Amino acid sequence: MTKKMTQYSLHDKADLARVRNMVRDDAEGAGGGPTAILDCLVSVTEACTNALLYGRDLSNDRDPEVTWEMDGRAARFVVRDFAGRPPPPEKWWMERTARVTTEAKDMTVRHGGFGLNLMRSLMDEVDIHSGSEGTTVVLVKHWT
């Protein structure tokens, strides 16, 4: 099976449904099973939502984009925004030991931040690069 590559520009949250439908169709055609496809849909939606929410600045009107390629073995997604900013000093995207919790005391303090843990738990590979030209999130899911 040859790789199929698709690219889509994200203008607003309304685009997320179309991206999910396209990803689902492509993943089914590439031989992904239902659980792996759902993992991809949740993770890609999270990464695209983050790009739409945090990946814009006034100096650049370029829309975030998502690109994916799939074959009979795996799916690879690249979500990119172009809001150039230096990475935060605490390097939050590198933290791999954060514990996901649903305890009430933690929920009142945290207003988000579960998305990276969610993506890492669902995908086989998650790489995040942030710098002066924007942020790129790479997600990989192997079908078997």
State the CATH number of the domain containing residue 20. 3.30.565.10
Cα pseudo-dihedral 102, 136, 23, 46, rounded to 10:
20
**7 close to 65: Cβ distance less than 8 angstroms:** yes
Q: Which residues pair with 138 in a beta bridge?
A: 78, 127
**71 close to 2: Cβ distance less than 8 angstroms:** yes
Count helices and strands in the chain by DSSP H and E runs: 4, 5
Residue % of the chain over a pLDDT of 90: 62
Q: What is the mean pLDDT of the chain?
A: 84
What is the model's pLDDT at position 110?
47
What residues make up the domain containing 89?
Answer: 4-142
pLDDT tens-digit readout, 20-41: 999 999 999 999 999 999 999 9
CA 120 to chain centre: 10
pTM: 0.81
Q: SS3 for 61? A: coil
**82 close to 62: Cβ distance less than 8 angstroms:** yes
pLDDT tens-digit readout, 81-128: 998 765 555 554 444 444 445 555 555 444 457 898 999 999 999 999
| Structural domains in the chain (count) | 1
Cβ neighbours for 65, distance < 8 A, ≥ 6 positions apart: 7, 8, 9, 10, 79, 80
pLDDT of 136 above 90: yes
E-state strands within 18-121: 65-70, 74-80
Comparing CA positions, the residue from 132, 119, 40, 136 lying closest to residue 80 is 136
